[in-house]
């Protein structure tokens, strides 16, 4: 028998059975740690015969620390997702945390981090070692937040230094931009005294990328164990969000708190459904194959049979133009927040969405965090992803964009309505969304409303004949003329039948 091959030398072999004398001989070719795929040449076809992986020695392989997965909160985007949305998950100006640390394109910002640390220490009056010691006390928690299978773990001293520099930068950026406390900075400082710098929005966009995060525990430690609510408030203020969000504890990182602010979550989520399997499942391109059962049937089909009351389950909603033609009225919600969506009495209310150059990037990072963080396991569904899918359904063409702009739901900062339509057509590639109870109800109501013929007839009448004062005047004049003609005919008939009979001569 052939000698053993180590784990590092594991290979994948394809063997032409024409060169193998017997089945036993083919089996002997299977070596320890070597995968063998035997095939028989029959014309132009290759018929698989056996695939065998040697089990010997597998008990000696040390399993990964699976218990550490539950502590991960800063994730690396899978390669397939990064390729589908190239550049959306890569910071342009600043690195936060270890994943992009050392990127040559981001090194210029390291100088500003050093300046932030210098002024932070000067303002607090404590030595640098004081904060390094404090961070070292929680180092095990900070390290556990990252997935080190994608990046080489730095030395302890280097890791703590990284957390200190990044944390001080965020604290000083908050003080200088939100409270204009710039006493230690020059008037023409490009970062801490120039919030309106042309590239500033790239800086803030980098700070909400899923791979570019540091745990808020760093800020909590550097600020001297202030209440968790104050740290969460700092993040909301940094992104110019109303600091009214109340979280049950300390947020995970900037992205986590930012998402919750965008969702408009002011209190615990709505009552949970008892059966999460009945939620609507949206399959984005590239993931439909992941939900096939052993018989090749889509699992979403089975779930739809369990949810008979949900008309339109697992189907794309009509576009904004189609909804408009079916009589749906679009209104802006009273409050912003992705979950402030409702549909009642033919009126669809949606939150304001300001579309800019960075909209695609931040929506993708929000969705990626939901996908990687396991938000889809909860009964409330993937809220951000569900919202983006909802908007993707509504927006197919430039005309849909115009309808939403006219209703003051959407602000176009890209310039062209076609650009906005292109942004939403395909933004959810590689993503998956599950609707929670609220979104599920809105979709169900919309589908049922659009399926009623009377709504379409009424909408067609309004859109065709009652669009403006001139058409209304024409319709009214036509109705009056028709009524007068009818009355004239009626009176003529009555006059004819009421004539006295003529005497016979």
For 35-53, the pLDDT digits (tens) are: 333 333 334 444 444 344 3
Structural domain includes residue 270: no
- Same domain for 53 and 82, yes or no, is no
> Residue 259 domain-assigned?
yes
Both 56 and 78 in one domain: the answer is no
Greatest mean pLDDT range, 265-269, 297-301, 485-489: 485-489
pLDDT bin (cut points 50, 70, 90) of residue 274 is very low
Task: Please give the model's pTM, rounded to 2 decimal places.
Answer: 0.72
Band (pLDDT 50/70/90 cuts) for residue 347 is very high
pLDDT value, residue 272 = 34
Q: Please name the residues in contact with 282: beta carbons below 8 A apart, sequence gap of 6 or more.
A: 314, 385, 386, 389, 428, 432, 433, 434, 435
Residues 6+ apart with CB under 8 A from 42: none
Please give the pLDDT value at position 101. 94
Task: Decide which of 263, 295, 325 is a domain's last residue.
Answer: 263
In this prediction, residues 225-245 reach a mean pLDDT of: 85
Rg (CA), the chain: 32
Indicate the pLDDT class of residue 109, thresholds 50, 70 and 90.
very high
Whether residue 276 lies inside any domain: the answer is no
Mean pLDDT of 212-226: 94
Kindly state whether residues 325 and 235 are assigned to the same domain: no
Q: Report helix, strand or coil for 367.
A: helix
Distances (CA, A) of 347 to 288, 343, 446: 33, 6, 10
Q: Which one, of 436, 434, 277, 292, lies nearest residue 371 by Cα?
A: 434
Instruction: Tell me, yes or no, whether 307 lies in a domain.
Output: no
Give the whole-angstrom CA distance, residue 70 versus residue 15.
42
pLDDT in the model for residue 305:
38
pLDDT tens track for 386-445? 999 999 999 999 999 999 999 999 999 998 999 999 999 989 998 888 888 888 899 989
User: What does each C-alpha distance from 59 to 7, 56, 94, 149, 461 come to in angstroms?
Assistant: 13, 8, 44, 22, 74
Structure confidence at residue 261 (pLDDT): 85
Distance from C-alpha of 357 to C-alpha of 413, rounded to nearest angstrom: 7
Compute the C-alpha angle 393/306/323, nearest 5°. 25
Kindly indicate the confidence band of residue 66, based on its pLDDT and cuts at 50, 70 and 90.
low
pLDDT, greater one: 157 or 31: 157
Of 39, 60, 81, which marks where a domain is finished? 60
Predicted pLDDT of residue 46: 43
pLDDT confidence of residue 470: 59
Span 493-503, mean pLDDT? 70
Residues 322 and 249 in one domain: no
DSSP state of 270: P
Give the mean pLDDT of 99-103. Answer: 94
Say if 291 falls within a structural domain: no
Higher pLDDT, 22 or 448: 448
Ramachandran assignment for 314, one of left (phi > 0), alpha (psi -120 to 50 degrees), beta (any other): left
Domain match, 460 and 416 both: yes
- For residues 330 and 410, give the distance between their C-alpha atoms in angstroms, rounded to a whole number: 11
Say whether both 56 and 177 belong to one domain.
no
Query: Which residues, in sequence order, are CB contacts of 146 under 8 Å at separation 6+?
Result: 72, 74, 97, 98, 99
Which SS3 state, helix, strand or coil, does residue 48 take?
strand
**What is the spatial distance between Cα 311 and Cα 318, in angstroms, rounded to a whole number?**
13
Q: What is the pLDDT of residue 333?
A: 92
Half-sphere exposure of 220 (CA within 13 A, CB side): 22
**Full residue range of the structural domain in which residue 432 is found:** 313-505
Average pLDDT over residues 140-146: 95
Residue ranges in 374-468 assigned as alpha helix (H): 383-394, 398-406, 417-424, 437-450, 453-465
Residue 23 lies in a domain: yes
Residues 498 and 360 in one domain: yes
Do 474 and 338 sit in the same domain of this protein?
yes
Give the pLDDT of residue 336.
Answer: 83
pLDDT at 61 over 70: no
| Least trusted range by pLDDT, from 70-79, 286-295, 325-334, 336-345 | 286-295
pLDDT at 190 over 50: yes
Give a yes or no: residue 302 inside a domain: no
- Residues 335-343 have a mean pLDDT of 89
Please tell me the predicted confidence (pLDDT) of residue 135.
97
In a domain, 11, yes or no: yes
Whether the CB-CB separation of 74 and 211 falls below 8 Å is answered with yes
Q: What does the CA dihedral 189, 191, 193, 195 come to, rounded to 10 degrees?
A: 140
C-alpha to C-alpha distance for 370 and 432, rounded to whole angstroms: 9
Asked if residue 294 has pLDDT above 60, the reply is no
Q: Are residues 25 and 170 in the same domain?
A: no
Percent of the chain with pLDDT over 70: 66
**Alpha helix (H) residue ranges in 85-183:** 108-124, 128-137, 139-144, 156-178
Average pLDDT over residues 82-111: 94
Based on the domain organization, do 425 and 331 belong to the same domain? yes
Same domain for 192 and 328? no
**Two structure tokens written together for 92:** 């342009």
In the listed set 263, 290, 323, which residue is the last one of a domain according to the structure?
A: 263
- Is the pLDDT reported for residue 303 higher than 80? no
Structural domain total, the chain: 3
- Mean pLDDT over each residue of the chain, to the nearest integer: 75
Q: Are residues 422 and 494 in the same domain?
A: yes
**pLDDT in the model for residue 395:** 95
């Amino acid at each position: 028998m052939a000698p053993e091959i180590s784990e590092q030398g594991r290979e994948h072999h394809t063997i032409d059975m024409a060169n193998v004398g017997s089945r036993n001989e083919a089996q002997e070719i299977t070596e320890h740690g070597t995968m063998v795929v035997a095939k028989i040449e029959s014309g132009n076809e290759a018929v698989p015969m056996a695939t065998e992986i040697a089990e010997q020695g597998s008990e000696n392989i040390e399993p990964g620390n699976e218990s550490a997965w539950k502590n991960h909160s800063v994730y690396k985007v899978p390669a397939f997702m990064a390729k589908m949305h190239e550049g959306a998950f890569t910071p342009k100006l600043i690195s936060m945390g270890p994943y992009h640390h050392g990127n040559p394109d981001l090194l210029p910002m390291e100088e500003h981090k050093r300046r932030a640390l210098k002024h932070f220490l000067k303002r607090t009056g404590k030595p640098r070692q004081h904060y390094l010691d404090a961070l070292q006390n929680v180092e095990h928690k900070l390290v556990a937040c990252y997935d080190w299978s994608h990046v080489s773990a730095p030395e302890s001293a280097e890791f703590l230094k990284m957390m200190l520099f990044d944390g001080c930068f965020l604290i000083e950026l908050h003080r200088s931009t939100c409270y204009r406390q710039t006493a230690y900075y020059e008037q023409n400082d490009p970062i801490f005294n120039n919030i309106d710098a042309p590239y500033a929005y790239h800086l803030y966009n980098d700070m909400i990328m899923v791979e570019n995060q540091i745990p808020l525990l760093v800020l909590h430690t550097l600020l001297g164990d202030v209440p968790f609510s104050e740290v969460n408030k700092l993040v909301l203020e940094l992104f110019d969000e109303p600091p009214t969000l109340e979280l049950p504890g300390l947020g995970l990182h900037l992205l986590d708190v930012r998402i919750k602010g965008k969702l408009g979550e002011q209190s615990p989520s709505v009552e949970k459904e008892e059966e999460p399997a009945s939620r609507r499942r949206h399959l984005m391109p590239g993931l439909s194959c992941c939900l096939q059962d052993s018989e090749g049937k889509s699992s979403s089909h089975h779930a739809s049979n369990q949810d008979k009351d949900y008309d339109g389950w697992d189907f794309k909603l009509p576009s904004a133009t189609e909804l408009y033609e079916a009589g749906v009225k679009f209104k802006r919600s009273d409050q912003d927040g992705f979950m402030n969506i409702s549909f009642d009495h033919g009126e669809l209310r949606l939150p304001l969405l300001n579309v800019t150059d960075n909209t695609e990037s931040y929506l993708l990072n929000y969705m990626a965090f939901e996908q990687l963080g396991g938000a889809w396991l909860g009964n409330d569904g993937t809220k951000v992803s569900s919202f983006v899918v909802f908007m993707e359904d509504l927006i197919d063409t430039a005309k849909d964009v115009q309808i939403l702009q006219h209703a003051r739901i959407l602000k176009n900062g890209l310039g062209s309505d076609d650009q906005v339509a292109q942004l939403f057509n395909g933004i959810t590639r590689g993503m998956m969304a599950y609707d929670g109870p609220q979104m599920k109800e809105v979709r169900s109501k919309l589908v049922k409303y659009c399926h009623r013929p009377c709504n379409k007839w009424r909408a067609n009448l309004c859109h065709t004949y009652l669009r403006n004062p001139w058409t209304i005047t024409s319709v009214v004049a036509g109705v009056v003329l028709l009524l007068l003609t009818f009355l004239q005919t009626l009176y003529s008939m009555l006059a004819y039948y009421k004539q006295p009979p003529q005497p016979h001569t």
